[in-house]
Amino acid sequence: MKSYLAAAIQMTSVPDLQKNLVQAEELIDLAVRQGAELIGLPENFSFLGEEHEKLAQAEAIAHESEKFLRTMAQRFQVTILGGGFPVPVSNGKVYNTALLIGPNGDDLARYEKVHLFDVNVPDGNTYRESGTVLAGMKMPPIHPSKELGNLGLSVCYDVRFPELYRHLSQMGAEVLFVPAAFTAFTGKDHWQVLLQARAIENTCYIIAPAQTGHHYAMRQTHGHAMIVDPWGTVLADAGDKPGVAIASIEPTRLEQVRRQMPSLQHRVFI
């Protein structure tokens, strides 16, 4: 693992596939021009709209999202995570799929979100992700990379389930992706502290791309795409506007924290 720059992209995606891909390309270009070699896009990066619209367009969204990720990775010669987009399954629902693509356009890792957001938020919004999304049945994968480190995948609501990240750290994860479309109401209280907790307890870097702002109807997201180091220090925060959070991933820092706080070696219940 070498030292390198990583980018967590922050978007305001809307119910328009092409507009979202144009926005994503501009932000990827911005990240690359600042030197990023590993780039994460947020959950719902290619479409964020009403559930019935998502289902009606799911096939096109899936096809165009994958094509876009491969094109961007090859064009800019970087590794890119598409943090979540719908992929149709046979029962009329979709998987909320995160896809990691390498610089040659190959699939490096694919994860179907297992924890679905079925929540009555106190701001009056009700979310029933399971109404249109089929939960994945497999634990998220690790992609081992000699240059970028061992990369672990997750999506949004997963961040509230520490056992998932403990599994990833047991499998050797060094950098954890948490792409999200966190609600504005919950995000103000929980987003940063959850990211810091997952970083601290697993002594891993966290790359957390995010959605921000108003998307459609009452749907608003928190923003604050972040990169957090293994000590829990926030290295970069994109604020509440579309943009990019960029920070250096340092193997020496990872080694230092794991040496000073060897909690992964002290686990009793495994």
Give the closest residue to 212 by CA, choosing from 23, 72, 34.
23
CB-side neighbour CA atoms (13 Å) of 125: 18
Structural domain boundaries, residue 126: 4-266
Q: How confident is the model at residue 217 (pLDDT cuts 50, 70, 90)?
A: confident
Per-residue pLDDT tens over the stretch 52-84: 999 999 999 999 999 999 999 999 999 999 999
Of the listed 64, 113, 174, 204, which one is catalytic?
A: 113
Active site residue 113: yes
What pLDDT, on the 0 to 100 scale, is given for residue 127? 92
What pLDDT, on the 0 to 100 scale, is given for residue 248? 98
| Total tally of structural domains belonging to the chain | 1
What pLDDT, on the 0 to 100 scale, is given for residue 124? 79
The whole-model pTM stands at: 0.97
Active site residue 201: no
Q: What is the mean pLDDT of residues 202-210?
A: 98
Of the listed 43, 66, 112, 174, which one is catalytic?
A: 43
Of the listed 64, 66, 156, 204, which one is catalytic?
A: 156
Active site residue 156: yes
DSSP for 225-247 reads -EEE-TTS-EEEE-TTSSEEEEE
What pLDDT, on the 0 to 100 scale, is given for residue 269? 86
What pLDDT, on the 0 to 100 scale, is given for residue 266? 95
Q: How confident is the model at residue 170 (pLDDT cuts 50, 70, 90)?
A: very high
What pLDDT, on the 0 to 100 scale, is given for residue 69? 98
What pLDDT, on the 0 to 100 scale, is given for residue 187? 96
What pLDDT, on the 0 to 100 scale, is given for residue 238? 98
Share of the chain above pLDDT 70, in %: 100
Q: What is the mean pLDDT of residues 30-51?
A: 97
Tokens of 252: 């020496």
Tokens of 162: 């520490």
In CATH, what number is assigned to the domain containing residue 37? Answer: 3.60.110.10
Please name the amino acid found at residue 163: E
User: Do residues 13 and 47 lie in contact, with contact meaning Cβ atoms separated by under 8 Å?
Assistant: yes
Give the closest residue to 207 by CA, choosing from 235, 181, 183.
235
User: Do residues 176 and 201 lie in contact, with contact meaning Cβ atoms separated by under 8 Å?
Assistant: no
What pLDDT, on the 0 to 100 scale, is given for residue 194? 98
What pLDDT, on the 0 to 100 scale, is given for residue 91? 86
Rounded Cα–Cα distance for residues 189 and 254 (Å): 27
Per-residue pLDDT tens over the stretch 121-138: 888 788 999 999 999 999
Please name the amino acid found at residue 67: K
Per-residue pLDDT tens over the stretch 255-264: 999 999 999 9
